[in-house]
């Protein structure tokens, strides 16, 4: 199991879709692992 947070700009229109794309790419490259991705808020400037 691999778990990590990810931060997108507020300009990202579909963060959930982007997260799924990232997970799919990781799964393709490293199929033995499961991935848990947490969407974090970007509150800094």
Q: What is the pLDDT of residues 5-44, one digit of tens each?
A: 998 878 888 888 999 999 999 999 999 999 999 888 766 6
Neighbour-count burial of 37, counting CB atoms closer than 10 A to its CB (0-12 exposed, 13-18 middle, 19+ buried): middle
Average pLDDT over every residue of 1-6: 93
For residue 28, the model assigns a pLDDT of 97
For residue 27, the model assigns a pLDDT of 96
For residue 44, the model assigns a pLDDT of 64
Distances (CA, A) of 41 to 11, 14, 17, 38, 45: 12, 14, 16, 10, 12
Whether 20 is covered by a domain: the verdict is yes
For the chain, the domain total comes to 1
What tokens were used for 6?
A: 């990810």
For residue 35, the model assigns a pLDDT of 94
Quick check: 38 and 8 in contact, CB under 8 A?
Answer: no
For residue 12, the model assigns a pLDDT of 80
Whether 11 is covered by a domain: the verdict is yes
Domain hosting 30: range is 2-40
Whether 45 is covered by a domain: the verdict is no
């Amino acid at each position: 199991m691999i778990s990590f947070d990810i931060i997108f700009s507020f300009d990202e229109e579909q963060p959930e879709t982007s997260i799924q794309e990232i997970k799919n790419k990781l799964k393709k490259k490293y199929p033995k692992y499961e991935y848990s991705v947490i969407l974090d808020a970007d509150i800094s400037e």
